[in-house]
């Protein structure tokens, strides 16, 4: 038990670093998809796509539902929200509105004068 949260982020960021996998994520965001549906747009073997889906699964970005011989894949956005959470800390660097922490700092500074 080292750090589950960190390990997850490793897997999630790695999974998202490949454009094919991001496209697969996008497709699943529309609706549930079978493996061959997901493979269809790509100029690449089904085996390759199968591996990509496994990477997404390891990152908990995909939930698979086996229904007879077809596997139905659906996006698990909870993993994406983990990225969002991670990013939250850095948001103040590009957002115009001050975040609560910064507001406190500004208030504190004003009191000094």
List of residues contacting a copy of itself (CB under 8 A): 6, 9-11, 13-14, 16-19, 22, 25, 29, 75, 77-78, 80-81, 83-84, 87, 89-91, 93-94
> Residue 33 pairs with which residues in a beta bridge?
73
What is the rounded CA–CA span in Å between residue 67 and residue 99? 47
Residue found under tokens 């500004």: 106
Please give the residues from 32 up to 61 whose contact with DNA meets the rule CB under 7 A. 34-37, 43-55
Please state the φ and ψ torsions of residue 33, each to the nearest 5 degrees. Answer: -140, 145
Q: Applying CB under 7 A, does 24 fall inside the site for DNA?
A: no
Please give the residues from 67 up to 86 whose contact with DNA meets the rule CB under 7 A. 68-72
């Amino acid at each position: 038990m080292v750090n589950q949260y960190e390990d997850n982020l490793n897997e999630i960021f790695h999974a998202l670093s490949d454009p094919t996998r991001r496209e697969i994520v996008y497709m699943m965001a529309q609706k549930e998809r079978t493996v061959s549906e997901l493979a269809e747009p790509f100029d690449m073997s089904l085996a390759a796509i199968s591996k990509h889906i496994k990477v997404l699964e390891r990152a908990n970005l995909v939930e698979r539902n086996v229904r007879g011989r077809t596997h139905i894949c659906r996006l698990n956005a909870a993993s994406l929200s983990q990225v969002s959470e991670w990013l939250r800390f850095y948001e103040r660097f590009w957002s115009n509105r001050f975040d609560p922490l910064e507001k406190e700092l500004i208030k504190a500074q004003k009191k000094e004068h």
